[in-house]
Amino acid sequence: METITNTKGMLADFVEELPKVELHLHIEGTLEPELLIALAQRNGVDIPYKTIEAARAAYQFEDLQSFLNVYYLGASVLREERDFYELTLAYMSRCKAQQIRHTELFFDPQTHLANGVALAAVMGGINAALRDAERDWHISSALILCIERDRDPQPAVALLERACALGGIAGIGLDSAELGNPPEKFQEVFKVAKSMGLHRVAHAGEEGPPAYIWQALDVLDVERIDHGVRCLEDPALVRRLVDDRIPLTVCPFSNVALKVFSRLSEHNLGRLLKAGLLATIHSDDPAYFGGYLSENIIETLSDLDLTAEDALLLERNAVEAAFCTDQRKQSLLRDLDQYGASYRNLL
């Protein structure tokens, strides 16, 4: 098979039209400064940033906690069902522009409940936008409810049951401040989620140690690890992840912004792929970290001297890891194969 010649310009051209899948995306993390300011004004929410420029300047971070402080402040402007609809539709519009054919979104209901927003308003707005995007743009999606690991785990089961009663939930995740909040704290709610037939994922091995990845696998029985970049510190863990085909949803721009790696050229994505891991690329909180999915793929592969063929591999991995039907996966894989073949024919 002829390989695709690689320069940064050709790589960018290839990736921009490449059919894509996004599996690690926090919908609250797509809140661009323009919408943040507009919603704050519309809803009468007093925030420290009065201009778009001031908000953009605040999107600078030293670690995960400093990011979360800004992230949760931003989420405070989301008050009405239409806010969640507009936020989600804006992201789905970017999906259309970036050739993202399937996406799986996290949302943080505990943050919005603490702000006095009804769960039905949060989920109603998000799910309405997802339905409209599938109808109008043929973008399939799944919604994953995230439990915030720095909160009391006790109310989580009741929250999950309420969300499932409203409908539209495909799975459960675990996010927020990782250090000092091991996955094992949330064993009960993940057990209930499994009994409900929900998919299960968890953030682990970003700032936290490889032991957190083991706990996510063995205690929470997750199907995917979100981030997971510290797995290479534990050879036995790498073997487990490879043998069981456990996907890693890696977010390079996020990892650099939060100082997991000092620069993109030092990221370990290439080593993850070389180790045979089912690694994928995603944008995490793109409004805060400087780029959506295409930008993450182009810049990361370029800085790591990876290729367009690696981009195809990453997207095939993402299709394998996705929570969609086998029929949908086959359709996505056909699109990838046809795109790769047509691009090679142009060379």
- Residue 22 designated active-site: no
The pLDDT score that the predictor gives to residue 68 is 86
Look at residue 263 and tell me if it is in a domain: yes
pLDDT at 56 over 80: yes
pLDDT at 6 over 70: no
Distance CA 293, CA 304 (A): 16
pLDDT at 17 over 80: yes
The pLDDT score that the predictor gives to residue 260 is 95
The pLDDT score that the predictor gives to residue 88 is 98
The pLDDT score that the predictor gives to residue 94 is 98
Look at residue 166 and tell me if it is in a domain: yes
Strand order in 278-281's β-sheet?
20-26, 100-107, 140-148, 171-175, 199-204, 224-227, 247-250, 278-281
Annotated binding residues, written as ranges, equal: 24, 26, 203, 284-285
The pLDDT score that the predictor gives to residue 1 is 42
pLDDT at 285 over 70: yes
pLDDT at 347 over 80: no
pLDDT at 8 over 80: no
Average pLDDT score over residue span 298-314: 97
Q: Is the dihedral of CA 227, 145, 246, 194 positive or negative?
A: positive
The pLDDT score that the predictor gives to residue 344 is 78
pLDDT at 325 over 50: yes
Q: How do residues 205-243 score in pLDDT, each as one tens digit? A: 999 999 999 999 999 999 999 999 999 999 999 999 999
Look at residue 178 and tell me if it is in a domain: yes
Percentages (nearest 5) of helix, strand, coil residues in the chain: 55, 15, 30
Strands 171-175 and 100-107, by their bridges, are unpaired
pLDDT at 7 over 80: no
Distance CA 1, CA 282 (A): 28
Residue of 81, 104, 148, 206 marked catalytic: 206
Q: Range of 199's domain?
A: 8-346
Look at residue 1 and tell me if it is in a domain: no
Q: Which of 43-52, 102-111, 291-300, 316-325 shows the lowest mean pLDDT across its residues?
A: 43-52
Look at residue 98 and tell me if it is in a domain: yes
The answer to whether 216 and 225 are in contact (CB under 8 A) is: yes
User: Which CATH number fits the domain that encloses residue 300?
Assistant: 3.20.20.140
Distance CA 26, CA 323 (A): 16
Give percent of the chain above pLDDT 90: 90
The answer to whether 178 and 207 are in contact (CB under 8 A) is: yes
The pLDDT score that the predictor gives to residue 110 is 98
Count of structural domains within the chain: 1
Phi, psi (deg, nearest 5) at residue 82: -70, -25
Look at residue 2 and tell me if it is in a domain: no
- Structure confidence at residue 85 as a pLDDT band (50, 70, 90): very high
The pLDDT score that the predictor gives to residue 5 is 55
Q: How do residues 134-189 score in pLDDT, each as one tens digit? A: 999 999 999 999 999 999 999 999 999 999 999 999 999 999 999 999 999 999 99
Nearest to 13 by CA among 76, 99, 78: 99
Strands 199-204 and 278-281, by their bridges, are unpaired
Q: What's the whole-model pTM score?
A: 0.95
Annotated binding residues for substrate, written as ranges, equal: 285
How high is the mean pLDDT of the chain? 95
Alpha helices, H only, 107-151: 109-114, 119-137
What's the number of CA atoms in the CB half-sphere (13 Å) around residue 65? Answer: 6
Look at residue 3 and tell me if it is in a domain: no
- Structure confidence at residue 95 as a pLDDT band (50, 70, 90): very high
Tokens read off for 117: 């927003």
Annotated binding residues for Zn(2+), written as ranges, equal: 24, 26, 203, 284
If residue 247 lies in a helix (H) or strand (E), which one and from where to where?
strand 247-250
- Which residue type sits at 68? L
Look at residue 232 and tell me if it is in a domain: yes
